[in-house]
Structure 1
Amino acid sequence: MNMYQLQQFHIQPMMQQFHIQPMMKMDNTMRKRERSKAMEKERLQVMDLSGMSLEFLPKPSLDLATICKLDLSNNNLQEIPESLTARLLNVEVLDVRSNQLNSLPNSIGCLSKLKVLNVSGNFIESLPKTIENCRALEELNANFNKLSKLPDTIGFELINLKKLSVNSNKLVFLPSSTSHLTALKVLDARLNCLRALPEDLENLINLETLNVSQNFQYLETIPYSIGLLWSLVELDVSYNNIKTLPESIGCLKNLQKLSVEGNPLTCPPMEVVEQGLHVVMEYMHHKINSSDQNKTKKRWWMGKIVKCGTFNKQFRNGKRPEHVGYNMLKHQNINGLASPGFMGMLSPLRLFSPHRSPRHFFS
């Protein structure tokens, strides 16, 4: 073995060792971090205090920062203490449905990790503006309350919100910022008093389900921008006072379910509606392409739709898209549906289990 070979023999193992040791240190660091995260998850707890007929929450005897899910549903709580909410630093799910709450604490804005908030079945008239600080929120359920409005800038702040359920309230309008909830997949605003929807709906690029049914005599029109909701799969506008559907609906290439019953519709006409969703889509597609539809007030929306090339490609080669679940139009008398007896049936049931003592949480 010559001198050169001898040098190579000693140098190469040293170089390999030099590279391996840092990699081993990195692996050990990553393992420690993973173990630390696992231990933290094990330390976090789920607290279920539902159905205990609690009227108030005594002073907690446990570190609230260890809770990742807190269920206080189906009780008789009239308020949630500010001090309690402020210390739920790691909570991801908070369920206070079916209580007697008139409001939510302002400290709810401290819940930076909150992903699911369920406040349905209470008597809440407005949501605190601080809820906009819950930027990790993905699902907000405020059904069956007394909401007359939502925070004006809610759409600018809750950028991760995927599901917004506010049915069975007293909402007259949705804030214009709602159209900026770009992550939103489900919007349920049925059984309210909506007069109109935000005009610039095209920003809801991920919206799959839109339900604004049963606003009865209040909702008379649907914005033309609805034709730009490319991801929309289900649209329910039943039991309103809509006479004309916007032609832009013909551009909803992914639409599979359209519910329009209970409206005094004149366009599209009954004979078209009775033939099913694919015929309605073709009818609207034809109207939006017809020369007499180029009205000034629609040109801006037309330009957007043409730019996206939606309706020019939708029925290429004469093929019709497959649509299922179409509910045939039938203008029915809604007096029975709007009667106090029927509306009373829509109230959430407040079922309470027998009295139990809260375990491991409150002293």
Structure 2
Amino acid sequence: MSKLQNRRKPQMNPKFRAAAADAAAACGTGDGGVGPTLINNARKSGELNLSNRGLSTVPEEVWRINLDVPEDFKEVSFGTDNRWWEQVALTKLLLSSNKLVELSENIRLVSAITILDVHDNKLTSLPDTLDELVNLQKLNVSHNELQSLPSAVYRCKNLLSLHLEYNKIKELDDDIGNLFSLHDLDMSHNQLSSIPDTVNGLTHVTRLSVAHNKLKELALGVASMNALRIIDAAHNQIVSIPDEIGFLHNLEQIFLRDNRLTELPVLNGTALKELHLGNNRIKMLTSKQLEQLLSVTILDLRDNKITDLPEEITLLTSLERLDLTNNELKTIPYEVGKMSNLKSLLIEGNAVRNIRRDIMQRGTPELLQFLRSRIQEPEPPEGEQLSEECALPWADDAYLARQTKHMLKVTHCLDHSNKPATDVPDEMWVSAKESGVLAVNLSKNNLQAIPSSITMLSASLNEVNLGSNKLTSVMPELSVCCKLIVLDLRNNQLSSLPDSLQSLVGLRDLNISFNRFKSLPSCIYKMRSLENLLASDNGIGDLDAQQLGELSMLAVLDLHNNYLQKIPPEIGLLETLRVLQIEGNSFRVPRPAIMAKGTSAVMEYLRSRIPT
């Protein structure tokens, strides 16, 4: 026997062993019981958290917490500081992440409970006495092995929130319509093949999730759920939805990705902001369908079979994000370039012939600018010629043909890109100001600093593209361009941004990719209108999830190819986030298999790792 094998294991000091045993008894660890300390604290607070304790059954003293006299206080002593008889009723019971296979019928003894959370267990059934919890408002039985719901659940008339996701439920009783107080109903990730029409009684539900089931249609009763703001029916087998759903005037978001729809649903809801129809079988868009989407800001049509994009798409003046990735489009109407609110246009994966591939890869601002430049403007009236006074002294002949004062007034865009230039003549800024220029493109030059004269356009400037230069800093004075919506700083040598940029409160699209940032600049967290934040290919090593949570409109966050060691699970709480790119970092979780499933799966995984 080697010396290493012969070495005796260190022995715990008996005093420490006794102390550890006392602590285990108090906290209810070791034997799966519930220690007296937890029970006594619950009597004072009305809340008992037994999550993640390896429990296979709930100890009887939990159900009798407000009935039995504690052993330590059989003899009443009015001088004691711990007056157990002054207890409050148990109102919140958390039993998540254990090994429970059933709940006792004695759950009826804690009738004051308003919140019951038993998610992430092994429950195959629920007790018939559940309806005796007359105050129950929130019930979470997700991530279990339920195949059906007992009738007692349908009799919990005061339920406001019911979470049934990640079970094996195959059908719902018609009595679900009796839960008329419900506001939040999640039945996703089950085996439902239909939804009862009696859901028409759920007139207070604002969020309905039936994603990841086997539905072939949405019940007509859903069209009577007048309070609905969000419908998530992604990952089903739906071939059509009732036209009546289009009259839900509070409806803001519809998720119908990964279904079998062959055409856009007819939607008349004036509040509709987001329509997600990716990965269906849609072949064409009609003007009638598009005319119903005038208030939509996000339209996701990726991974379909659309062959033609009608010019009526320009009627969607509120549209901010249009995703047409992986369709069968041959052309993009040049008039799309006039859609002033469009901040993200995705057309990769199409056989588009009227736009060069290198232009498609430059990003939305340059793509829209290209489309605008191809629109044929009406000829000047006969006899009206551009005088020699219009000639710009700072332009050569080739440039003069493209960039006259007339064109500045027509396009409202000052394009001085790809020269390469080390400065921008003052005459150019003067002409731009006189023409009311809204966009400036100085990309692909050799600028080492932002021209200070850009502030001459501060009253009108909406878009600035400074990508692919040699900038090492951004001048604080750029903050006076308070109307900026798009700022492109990609492919420079930046490692910081001035705090003054936090005054760009209207900025929606910020690209700082391919720079030298080691963390997100603090000014970004004050840009409360930010929707698209692209920060890939930097040296970013950590994220502040709490401050990112302040960006209440953030929809796209691109952080791929950085130095992130971990992804804070609180990122999963960013409700508006629709695209999260984190590939090419050094973290271990989420695993590549999860990331391959897309943003929704990653966000769901992150939420599952938040401590209860």
Bin for the TM-score computed over the shorter chain: 0.5 to 0.7
Residue matched to 1:66: 158
Is 2:285 the partner of 1:197?
yes
Shift of 1:153: 3.0
Alpha-carbon distance between aligned partners in 1 of 2:161 and 2:294, rounded to the nearest angstrom: 30
Residue matched to 1:160: 250
Decide whether aligned partners of structure 1 residues 44 and 312 sit closer, same or farther in structure 2, where only a CA change above 3 A counts: farther
Residues 243-266 of structure 1, C-alpha deviations (whole Å, 9 max, x = no match)? 111223112212221211111111
Residue matched to 2:199: 108
Alpha-carbon distance between aligned partners in 1 of 2:335 and 2:225, rounded to the nearest angstrom: 35
Where do residues 210-229 of structure 1 align in structure 2 (5 Å cutoff)? Answer: 210-215=299-304, 218-229=305-316
Residue matched to 1:295: none
Shift of 1:147: 0.5
2:321 to 231, 234, 244: 234
Residues 201-252 of structure 1, C-alpha deviations (whole Å, 9 max, x = no match)? 244333221111011xx21122322212222221111111111112231122
Alpha-carbon distance between aligned partners in 1 of 2:337 and 2:352, rounded to the nearest angstrom: 16
Alpha-carbon distance between aligned partners in 2 of 1:314 and 1:154, rounded to the nearest angstrom: 41
Q: SS at the partner of 1:285?
A: helix
Do the aligned partners of 1:82 and 1:105 also contact (CA within 8 Å) in 2?
yes
Residues 260-293 of structure 1, C-alpha deviations (whole Å, 9 max, x = no match)? 111111123335434442232233224445359x
Decide whether aligned partners of structure 1 residues 95 and 198 sit closer, same or farther in structure 2, where only a CA change above 3 A counts: farther
Alpha-carbon distance between aligned partners in 2 of 1:272 and 1:223, rounded to the nearest angstrom: 21
1:82 to 174, 177, 181: 174
Residue matched to 2:236: 145
Decide whether aligned partners of structure 1 residues 125 and 277 sit closer, same or farther in structure 2, where only a CA change above 3 A counts: same
Decide whether aligned partners of structure 1 residues 346 and 62 sit closer, same or farther in structure 2, where only a CA change above 3 A counts: closer
Q: SS at the partner of 2:313?
A: helix
Alpha-carbon distance between aligned partners in 2 of 1:151 and 1:72, rounded to the nearest angstrom: 25
Which deviates the most, 135-144 or 54-63?
54-63
Q: SS at the partner of 2:270?
A: coil
Alpha-carbon distance between aligned partners in 2 of 1:214 and 1:185, rounded to the nearest angstrom: 21
Alpha-carbon distance between aligned partners in 2 of 1:112 and 1:312, rounded to the nearest angstrom: 51
Decide whether aligned partners of structure 1 residues 269 and 131 sit closer, same or farther in structure 2, where only a CA change above 3 A counts: same
- Code of the residue aligned with 2:146 in structure 1: it is L
Residues 55-103 of structure 1, C-alpha deviations (whole Å, 9 max, x = no match)? 11122067432011111111110001002x1211111111000101000
Where do residues 337-356 of structure 1 align in structure 2 (5 Å cutoff)? Answer: 346=597
Do the aligned partners of 1:197 and 1:222 also contact (CA within 8 Å) in 2?
yes
Decide whether aligned partners of structure 1 residues 190 and 115 sit closer, same or farther in structure 2, where only a CA change above 3 A counts: same
TM-score (norm 2): 0.41
Residues 123-163 of structure 1, C-alpha deviations (whole Å, 9 max, x = no match)? 000111121111111000001100111112321x2111100
Alpha-carbon distance between aligned partners in 2 of 1:276 and 1:121, rounded to the nearest angstrom: 33
Do the aligned partners of 1:251 and 1:314 also contact (CA within 8 Å) in 2?
no
Is 2:437 the partner of 1:318?
yes
Residue matched to 2:264: 174
Do the aligned partners of 1:65 and 1:89 also contact (CA within 8 Å) in 2?
yes
Bigger-Rg structure (1/2): 2
Do the aligned partners of 1:132 and 1:154 also contact (CA within 8 Å) in 2?
yes
Residue matched to 1:283: 370
Alpha-carbon distance between aligned partners in 2 of 1:312 and 1:81, rounded to the nearest angstrom: 63
Alpha-carbon distance between aligned partners in 2 of 1:313 and 1:47, rounded to the nearest angstrom: 57
Q: SS at the partner of 2:152?
A: coil
TM-score (norm 1): 0.67
Alpha-carbon distance between aligned partners in 2 of 1:271 and 1:97, rounded to the nearest angstrom: 41
Q: What is the RMSD computed on CA atoms of the aligned residues? A: 3.0
Q: What's the % identity of the aligned pairs?
A: 27
1:51 to 143, 152, 159: 143
- Code of the residue aligned with 1:208 in structure 2: it is T
Do the aligned partners of 1:165 and 1:187 also contact (CA within 8 Å) in 2?
yes
Decide whether aligned partners of structure 1 residues 214 and 314 sit closer, same or farther in structure 2, where only a CA change above 3 A counts: farther
Q: SS at the partner of 1:70?
A: strand
Residue matched to 2:610: none
Residues 7-29 of structure 1, C-alpha deviations (whole Å, 9 max, x = no match)? xxxxxxxxxxxxxxxxxxxxxxx
Q: SS at the partner of 2:345?
A: strand
- Code of the residue aligned with 2:284 in structure 1: it is A
Task: Structure 2 unaligned segments of length 5 or more: list them.
Answer: 1-113, 116-134, 380-408, 414-434, 440-461, 464-485, 487-508, 512-531, 535-592, 605-612
Q: SS at the partner of 1:66?
A: coil
Alpha-carbon distance between aligned partners in 2 of 1:264 and 1:211, rounded to the nearest angstrom: 18
Do the aligned partners of 1:67 and 1:91 also contact (CA within 8 Å) in 2?
yes
Alpha-carbon distance between aligned partners in 2 of 1:279 and 1:346, rounded to the nearest angstrom: 30
| Higher RCO (C-alpha under 8 Å, 6+ residues apart) | 1
- Code of the residue aligned with 2:213 in structure 1: it is N
- Code of the residue aligned with 1:113 in structure 2: it is H
Alpha-carbon distance between aligned partners in 1 of 2:154 and 2:301, rounded to the nearest angstrom: 43
Residues 25-61 of structure 1, C-alpha deviations (whole Å, 9 max, x = no match)? xxxxxxxxxxxxxxxx995601111122111112206
Alpha-carbon distance between aligned partners in 1 of 2:410 and 2:228, rounded to the nearest angstrom: 38
